[in-house]
């Protein structure tokens, strides 16, 4: 299943892939369906200032270089570890196509529920790229702890992910992108 969206030059979501809504609903994300996200700024959907800054830097880099960039990341559900690659492709007039490609999916016996903490609430830091949480000063995979967890988190980017070098497109199998995602919309 291809999940993708197109951003205008001001980082507003202007189109999503046909499978977008099904993926959102399968993952308990009604608020992420097309009618809720098209026309909105991407940064409104990203939690945590460090994560917004990280993503802004990638968007700027892709636009400035004119080259496709690949960003490996994890996007887990409570019982599944999923590894993705996000491809960012520059299009005409500063628009970008952002597509998410599932690389690996691993079902687990554990249930790791992650919720975003409210301001002032005690919470773990969680890296939005590798999904590790900071526990006693160390970044650990919550599935590696070996017990069911209910985690309240603050979204950030760990030092390992911050310092990972940019990856140019290469080797990741591109899929056919619907014309509705590539059309130039002002």
Highest mean pLDDT: which range of 28-32, 115-119, 175-179: 115-119
In this structure, what token pair is assigned to residue 121?
């609430």
- pLDDT over 90 for what percent of the chain? 72
Q: Is the pLDDT of residue 1 over 50?
A: yes
Q: Write out pLDDT tens, residues 56-72.
A: 999 999 999 999 999 99
CB atoms within 10 A of CB 184: 12
Q: How far apart are CA 183 and CA 92, in angstroms?
A: 9
Q: How far apart are CA 24 and CA 119, in angstroms?
A: 26
Q: How far apart are CA 29 and CA 14, in angstroms?
A: 19
Q: How far apart are CA 157 and CA 152, in angstroms?
A: 16
Average pLDDT over residues 125-140: 96
Instruction: Name beta bridge partners: 147.
Output: none
Q: Is the pLDDT of residue 186 over 80?
A: no
Q: Write out pLDDT tens, residues 87-100.
A: 999 999 999 999 99
Per-residue pLDDT band for 168 (boundaries 50, 70, 90) equals low
Find the angle CA(97)-CA(175)-CA(105) to the nearest 5 degrees.
100
């Amino acid at each position: 299943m291809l999940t993708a969206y197109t951003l205008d030059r001001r980082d507003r979501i202007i189109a999503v892939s046909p499978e977008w809504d099904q993926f959102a609903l399968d993952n308990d994300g009604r608020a992420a369906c097309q009618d809720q996200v098209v026309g909105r700024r991407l940064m409104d959907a990203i939690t945590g200032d460090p994560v917004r800054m990280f993503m802004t830097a990638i968007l700027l880099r892709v636009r400035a270089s004119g080259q496709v960039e690949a960003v490996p990341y994890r996007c887990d559900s409570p019982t599944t570890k999923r590894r993705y690659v996000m491809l960012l492709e520059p299009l005409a007039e500063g628009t970008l196509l952002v597509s998410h490609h599932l690389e690996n999916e691993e079902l687990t016996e554990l249930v790791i529920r992650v919720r975003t903490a409210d301001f002032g609430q005690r919470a773990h830091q969680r890296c939005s790229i590798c999904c590790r949480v900071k526990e006693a000063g160390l970044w650990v995979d919550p599935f590696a702890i070996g017990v069911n967890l209910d985690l309240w988190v603050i979204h950030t980017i760990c030092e390992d992910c911050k310092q990972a070098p940019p990856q140019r497109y290469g080797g990741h199998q591109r899929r056919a992108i619907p014309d509705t995602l590539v059309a130039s919309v002002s």
